Amino acid sequence: MTSIRDLVIRGSDILEEGKFKFDRSKYLNGSEAMTCIRRQWYKKFQPEEEAEQDWGYARRGIHGERFLVESLIAANVPLTMSGKEQMSWQDEKRRISSTPDGVIQYDDEWVMPEFKTIDPRTNKSKLPRVPHVAQLQIAMEMIDLNIDRPDGVGLRGLLIYMDASNYFDILEFPIDRDKTILDKMAKRASKILRTKDVGNLDREGKRGGGNECKTMCGFSEVCGVDVEAASTRRANRGSNFDGCALRYMELKDAEDVIKVEKATLQEEIKNGLKQRSTNRAVVGNIEVLLSIAKGRASLDKAAVKRAGIDLSPFEQTGQPSERLTVKRT
């Protein structure tokens, strides 16, 4: 007699069969965009090499999302393009695809939720996770490209994390748009889809202590990564060194995302002031001021050298200082 477990797995596969109506191997998919670039390559070009995986946690996410969607709709939230009506979008030029969890279409604003279930042991201080932010930002731009939004109606994202052991333990993180993200991801998509030899791609899964290689990837063996060597090794029990290094890189990654977003918002704010023919605005308790800064004086060393002037007698050497370099190998 077939076990209940095997029957459940067989049935869940049937339920999920045909969920996507397009060939995901032809695109960089939003939900995977920030995962290891080699893992994505294998899933597209050598999927048969994947070792058997336990996808029970993925089913958990599916049912968690279903609970959230059904609950919001029952509460008369104007949530569209979700659940059975969920839609996928493809950008043929950039080779990017996205399947948003839905759009809440309020009269004055559209809110795009991205639903995630998390293990109760998750360190919530590290949320939201950068890959989830990127996934939602990709979804927002795809919706903006494909759906006509009424004039004056804004668009923003909302990352929602639900504890898998307590469905009412929910965290929300507002996510702003990154209007440049599709162009940035297009370069990554091209790299994945045009590469013929996986040896030309970095083993990104080794980053962050090798957790992705060890716990999330079925291609570790064919990829040739030593998951034990890639895992974090502590020199001393109780040492915080490894944790500090890993957290440093997480923050550095987040800084890169924030830096791009800040630059985009800065230009939008400048344009907004110019459109209003003003150099000052107040938003709540925030003052926005655009002014002309005096150019910084600098020494044209090439011109000084051409003039035959030797400045070396006036140069000073500062005190030696420590330089810390933290980068991925």
Q: Does any domain span residue 151?
A: yes
CA torsion sign for 295, 300, 301, 307 is negative
Shared domain check, 213 and 253? no
Domains identified in the chain, total number: 2
User: Which domain, by its residues, includes 249?
Assistant: 240-288
Q: Which residues, including other chains, have CB under 8 Å from residue 68's CB and lie 6 or more apart?
A: 113, 115, 160, 162
What mean pLDDT is predicted for residues 156-185? 94
Alpha carbon distance 64, 93 (integer Å): 33
Give the β-pairing of 154-163 and 109-118.
Answer: parallel
Q: Is the pLDDT of residue 125 over 90?
A: no
- Residue with more model confidence, 260 or 329: 260
Shared domain check, 259 and 221? no
Of 39-53, 61-75, 128-142, 167-181, give the lowest mean pLDDT range: 39-53
Decide which of 213, 231, 249 is a domain's last residue.
Answer: 231
Shared domain check, 269 and 161? no
**Residue 294 pLDDT:** 81
Shared domain check, 255 and 141? no
Q: Does any domain span residue 318?
A: no
Alpha carbon distance 115, 62 (integer Å): 9
| Dihedral over alpha carbons 100, 91, 135, 47 (to 10 degrees) | 100
CATH number for 85: 3.90.320.10
* Secondary structure of residue 95 in the 3-state scheme: coil
**Residue 264 pLDDT:** 77
Q: Does any domain span residue 69?
A: yes
Whole-number mean pLDDT of the chain?
85
Summarised one tens digit per residue, pLDDT across range 297-326 is 888 888 888 888 988 888 888 777 777 887
Q: Does any domain span residue 117?
A: yes
**Residue 76 pLDDT:** 97
Q: Are 83 and 70 in contact (CB under 8 A)?
A: yes
Shared domain check, 267 and 194? no
**Residue 218 pLDDT:** 86
**Residue 93 pLDDT:** 94
**Residue 54 pLDDT:** 62
Shared domain check, 255 and 225? no
Q: Is the pLDDT of residue 115 over 80?
A: yes
